Amino acid sequence: MRERSRPVETSALFAEERKLQIIEYLALHRKATVQQLCSYFNVSSATIRNDLRELDVKGQITRTHGGAMMREQAGFEPDIRSRELEHVAEKKRIAMLALTLVEDGDTIALDTGTTTLELARVLCGRKALTVVTSDMKIALTLEECEGVSVVVMGGTLRRHFHSTVGDAGRAMIANLRVDKAFMGANSFSISEGASTPDLHTAETKRAMIQIAGKVIMLCGGEKLGRRSFATFAAIDEIDVLVTDRIDEQMRREVEEHDIELLVAI
């Protein structure tokens, strides 16, 4: 895996900025020792240990003897600020490839998430587009696009995730129909399909899939072969998988299930 460039003047980072960058580092490398983090951020071991302690208490990482690792439990979900820092270039490539599936005049559902947000950012060139979304940040992004009409799902705002969940939003879209649903996922596997840690979010995602003529999954390669707590789409409900990398075994399995596979290079 390519090493990210070291932050500039890391010793001067604010504590919260440094903690977000620690999460980003662990997301890329999966684990690290205290000494590696001290060297990378140019701070003392006491500072790093204090950061790791606070992140562990918040449930964002798991402390280990002499270091830390990303938390892998099926129910763990990093908040939106943490996820926005991860795999940014890969998400942009996936979004640009997914854009080729959007045509002028389409009606689409756009799921909440950082990869779908990247897709929203490049939709302004499309004309006569209608977008249904539960994501506040996506709605605000598309508000500036003259050729795009936005339908925002109602419900309860999910704190720290900028999205709505609940019966109100699902009831609101139950009688709608969209040509395509562009969905995000925390995890994707052949046996479990697409899944997410939060049960309420899974229910909202299912509602979007039920109104879609075609289901298009946008999923980074780091999420393939994993599972989360709540499945929202079985493998036979998915028509297209857009990713940035995939191993040969999973490629074969995806194609055996008649899922169109698009890989962003």
pLDDT tens-place string over residues 71-92: 655 444 554 554 554 578 999 9
Q: What is d(CA 159, CA 202) in angstroms, rounded to the nearest whole number?
A: 16
pTM of the entire predicted model: 0.71
Model pLDDT, residue 13: 56
Same fold, 10-71 and 82-263: no
pLDDT at res. 72: 55
Query: What pLDDT, in 10s, does the model give residues 5-39?
Result: 444 444 445 788 888 888 878 866 778 999 999 99
pLDDT of residue 14: 76
* Res 104 pLDDT > 50: yes
Residue 86's pLDDT is 59
Task: Provide mean pLDDT across the span 227-256.
Answer: 94
User: In this predicted model, which residue has the larger pLDDT, 54 or 149?
Assistant: 149
Inform me whether the pLDDT recorded for 54 exceeds 80: yes
Is the pLDDT assigned to residue 143 strictly greater than 90?
Answer: yes
Contact 152, 133 (CB under 8 A): yes
State yes or no: pLDDT of 152 exceeds 90: yes
User: Given a cut of 70, is residue 240 above it in pLDDT?
Assistant: yes
What pLDDT was estimated at residue 23?
81
How much is the average pLDDT of 31-59? 91
Return the pLDDT at 28. Answer: 67
Q: Where are the domains of the chain?
A: 10-71, 82-263
Query: HEC states along the chain?
Result: CCCCCCCCCHHHCCHHHHHHHHHHHHHHHCEEEHHHHHHHHCCCHHHHHHHHHHHHHCCCEEEECCEEEECCCCCCCCCHHHHHCCCHHHHHHHHHHHHCCCCCCCEEEECCCHHHHHHHHCCCCCCCEEEEECEHHHHHHHCCCCCEEEEECCCEEECCCCEEECHHHHHHHCCCCEEEEEEECCEEECCCEEEECCHHHHHHHHHHHHCEEEEEEECCHHHECCCCCEEEECHHHCCEEEECCCCHHHHHHHHHCCCEEEECC
Q: Looking at residue 159, what is its pLDDT? A: 81
Q: What is the mean pLDDT of the chain?
A: 88
pLDDT level of residue 100 (50, 70, 90 thresholds): very high
For the segment 121-150, the average pLDDT, to the nearest whole number, is 96
CATH number 3.40.50.10310 given to 82-263: no
CATH 3.40.50.10800 fits 10-71, yes or no: no
Average pLDDT over residues 91-118: 97
| Arithmetic mean of pLDDT, 209-226 | 94
The least confident of 59-68, 148-157, 247-256 is: 59-68
